């Protein structure tokens, strides 16, 4: 290849020199014919003109040849830095211009490459899964979120291998066939069903890798769940209110009609009505209390609470009720118990609910043991915490119910809880108050033996951290 190139260059060089010398040769020939210039002088002149042209053209030609091979070398290896060896100033100027051009295009190329790298980094960091598809519906590339959702090694596989949903495949086929972009919603089955929406849009122009469409997925499971929870909450609240309301309406009609002249029935019905009205009032109070706590949940309380006196006063207040079921509330505190960071009213609501449950669901003639100790659980940003355990000896709660106990209106035995006057909001209130206090609630229970509800609360900053367990 170089010798062939050299041969071409030599032929070109001789041809160019001859063409440039030709006018002088022709002029000399004309002078020999038309004037008295001797043929020998004319031939000598022509040969001299040709030699001079050769000599003048040689460095320029050699220079241009080196420029060309230098530029060839640079296009083959962008990092090469060839040196021009030529005596021709013109060749040097062309070389300088050529290398400037090469450098500028190399910089532009680097800038494009950097843009491509950052565009890929942005795609891979997108929180939503993203797939690029070619016209045969093959996955050209996928970002990290897509690999997390659909599994690794997605590239080069058909979309159907990653997402087996007919709706989304039909949508992708339509867009690949030229239809406008679209959004389709679908459910992804698995251990936990997920609700997703897929946006499929054509890519114009196609990417250098051959992708002609982009598919992005958005997981709206959390939104759908919270919508469902909100709808359930509204349905549950109205159902809970409607039951006592229906009974009140029924009794009012009875009092106006059949029982209008029956003072004994009236007294009995009014007692039931008062109970139902009280139940409605309790429900409304609990709902208001829950929404108030939720509103402030992001703001931790600033006060300090002496739990010993809070627990003692609740135990006093509930003593009668406990005694009516043959029960006793036994309190055990460590010596030198530190204050906890909190709101006394809210904490008293927490323990009222837990004591109330222990009385309601504990067995007759058993004791309720309330024990305060140092908490083994580290609460974030807090040096120490107290664990307040409320133990009853009741029927206990089956394991499958434990994770749902703090949901609003969740009851293990709905009819029984209602009969006992419960709204099913007690533990939901407890959970939100504890959350606001940046604490934890642990529930442990054994069917037939009883339950332990343990509240972990951070110790107030200025209180001594350690407690002596009794
Ligand atoms: N100590 C316990 N032992 C057995 N089951 C319990 C205990 N505490 C709560 N539960 C179960 O958890 C459910 C939810 O309790 P929660 O305190 O939220 O509602 P409630 O007691 O029914 O009503 P409310 O507290 O509004 O009067 C109860 O209905 C009951 O089934
Ligand atoms: Mg309760």
Determine the atom of ligand 1 nearest the C-alpha atom of 417: 22
Rounded percentage of the chain residues whose pLDDT exceeds 90: 57
The residue from 198, 219, 240 where one domain ends is: 219
Determine the structural domain holding residue 165 and report its residue range. Answer: 126-219
In a domain, 440, yes or no: yes
Q: How many domains does the chain have?
A: 4
CATH number at residue 424: 3.30.565.10
* Cα of 353 from ligand 2 centre, angstroms: 5
Q: For residue 451, which ligand has an atom nearest its CA?
A: 1
Per-residue pLDDT of 154-197, as tens digits, reads: 999 999 999 989 999 999 999 999 999 999 999 888 777 889 99
**Which of 289, 423, 427 maximizes ligand 1 atoms within 8 Å of its Cβ, making it the mutation to test the pocket?**
427
For residue 130, give every residue at least 6 positions away whose Cβ sits within 8 Å of its Cβ, in sequence order, or none: 123, 142, 143, 145, 146, 214, 215, 216, 217
What pLDDT is recorded for position 468?
44
In a domain, 96, yes or no: yes
Token look-up 């309790």 returns: 282
The residue from 83, 112, 141 where one domain ends is: 112
pLDDT at 63 exceeding the cut of 90: no
Rounded percentage of the chain residues whose pLDDT exceeds 70: 96
Judgement on whether residues 212 and 238 belong to the same structural domain of the protein: no
Judgement on whether residues 454 and 346 belong to the same structural domain of the protein: yes
pLDDT at 469 exceeding the cut of 70: no
**Which of 278, 364, 417, 419 maximizes ligand 1 atoms within 8 Å of its Cβ, making it the mutation to test the pocket?**
417
The two three-digit tokens of residue 403, written as one number: 């994770």
- Within 13 A of 151's CA, how many CA atoms are on the CB side? 9
Judgement on whether residues 215 and 229 belong to the same structural domain of the protein: no
Task: Report the b/e string of 359-374 with b at 16+ CB within 10 A.
Answer: bbbbeeebbbbbbbbb
Average pLDDT over residues 102-119: 90
Per-residue pLDDT of 405-460, as tens digits, reads: 999 999 998 887 777 778 899 999 999 999 999 999 999 999 999 999 999 999 98
Per-residue pLDDT of 366-417, as tens digits, reads: 999 999 999 887 666 677 899 999 999 999 999 999 999 999 999 998 887 7
What pLDDT is recorded for position 346?
96
Residues with CB under 6 A from ligand 1: 286, 353, 357-358, 361, 392, 394-395, 397, 405, 410-413, 417, 422-427, 451
Determine the atom of ligand 1 nearest the C-alpha atom of 424: 19
CATH number at residue 189: 3.30.450.20
Per-residue pLDDT of 319-357, as tens digits, reads: 999 999 999 999 999 988 999 999 999 999 999 999 999
Which CA distances in Å does 58 have to 9, 13, 19, 64? 11, 8, 14, 10
Judgement on whether residues 288 and 309 belong to the same structural domain of the protein: no
In a domain, 95, yes or no: yes
Q: Give 1's pLDDT tier (boundaries 50, 70, 90).
A: very low
What pLDDT is recorded for position 2?
46
Residues with CB under 5 A from ligand 2 (ion): 357, 426
Average pLDDT over residues 243-253: 93
Judgement on whether residues 347 and 421 belong to the same structural domain of the protein: yes
Judgement on whether residues 88 and 182 belong to the same structural domain of the protein: no
Closest Cα partner for 67 from 93, 49, 45, 41?
A: 93
In a domain, 119, yes or no: no
pLDDT at 5 exceeding the cut of 80: no
Per-residue pLDDT of 134-155, as tens digits, reads: 999 999 999 999 999 899 999 9
In a domain, 90, yes or no: yes
- Whether the CB-CB separation of 251 and 268 falls below 8 Å is answered with no
Judgement on whether residues 324 and 445 belong to the same structural domain of the protein: yes
What pLDDT is recorded for position 88?
85
In a domain, 463, yes or no: no
Identify each DSSP E strand in 69-205 by its residue range.
130-133, 139-142, 182-188, 194-202
Judgement on whether residues 239 and 175 belong to the same structural domain of the protein: no
Backbone angles phi, psi at 339, to 5 degrees: -75, 155
Determine the atom of ligand 1 nearest the C-alpha atom of 421: 27
């Amino acid at each position: 290849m170089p010798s062939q190139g050299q041969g071409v260059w030599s032929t070109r060089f001789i041809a160019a020199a001859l063409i440039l010398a030709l006018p002088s040769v022709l002029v000399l020939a004309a002078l020999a014919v038309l004037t008295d210039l001797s043929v020998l002088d004319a031939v000598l002149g022509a040969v001299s003109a040709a030699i001079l042209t050769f000599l003048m053209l040689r460095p320029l030609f050699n220079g241009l040849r080196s420029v060309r091979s230098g530029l060839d070398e640079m296009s083959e290896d962008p990092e090469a830095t060839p040196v021009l060896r030529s005596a021709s100033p013109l060749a040097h100027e062309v070389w300088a211009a050529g290398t400037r051009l090469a450098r500028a295009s190399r910089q532009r190329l680097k800038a494009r490459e950097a843009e491509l790298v950052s565009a890929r980094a942005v795609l891979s960091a997108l929180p939503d899964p993203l797939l690029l598809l070619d016209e045969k519906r093959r996955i050209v590339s996928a970002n990290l979120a897509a690999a997390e959702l659909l599994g690794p090694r997605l590239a080069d596989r058909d979309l159907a291998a990653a997402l087996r949903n007919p709706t989304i495949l039909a949508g992708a086929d339509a867009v690949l066939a030229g239809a406008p972009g679209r959004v389709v919603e679908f459910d992804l089955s698995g251990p936990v069903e997920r609700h997703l929406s897929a946006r499929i849009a054509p890519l114009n122009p196609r990417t250098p890798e051959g992708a002609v469409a982009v598919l992005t997925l958005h997981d709206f499971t959390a939104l759908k769940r919270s919508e469902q929870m909100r709808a359930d909450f509204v349905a549950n609240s109205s159902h809970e209110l409607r039951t006592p309301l229906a009974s009140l309406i029924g009794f009012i009609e009875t009092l106006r009609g059949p029982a209008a002249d029956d003072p004994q029935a009236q007294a009995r019905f009014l007692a039931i009505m008062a109970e139902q009205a009280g139940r409605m009032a309790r429900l409304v109070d609990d709902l208001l209390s829950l929404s108030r706590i939720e509103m402030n949940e992001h703001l931790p309380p600033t006060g300090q609470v002496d739990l010993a006196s809070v627990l003692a006063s609740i135990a006093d207040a509930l003593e009668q009720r406990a005694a009516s079921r043959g029960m006793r509330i036994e309190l055990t505190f460590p010596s030198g118990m530190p204050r906890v960071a909190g709101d006394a009213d809210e904490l008293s609501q927490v323990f009222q609910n837990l004591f109330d449950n222990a009385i309601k669901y504990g067995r007759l003639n058993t004791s309720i043991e309330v024990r305060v100790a140092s908490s083994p659980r580290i609460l974030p940003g807090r040096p120490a915490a107290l664990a307040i355990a409320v133990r009853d000896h009741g029927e206990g709660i089956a394991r499958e119910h434990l994770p749902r106990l703090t949901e609003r209106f969740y009851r293990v035995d709905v009819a029984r809880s209602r009969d006992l006057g419960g709204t099913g909001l007690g533990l939901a209130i407890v959970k939100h108050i504890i959350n606001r206090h940046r604490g934890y609630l642990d529930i442990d229970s054994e069917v037939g033996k009883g339950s332990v509800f343990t509240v972990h609360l951070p110790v107030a900053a200025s209180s001594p951290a350690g407690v002596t367990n009794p």
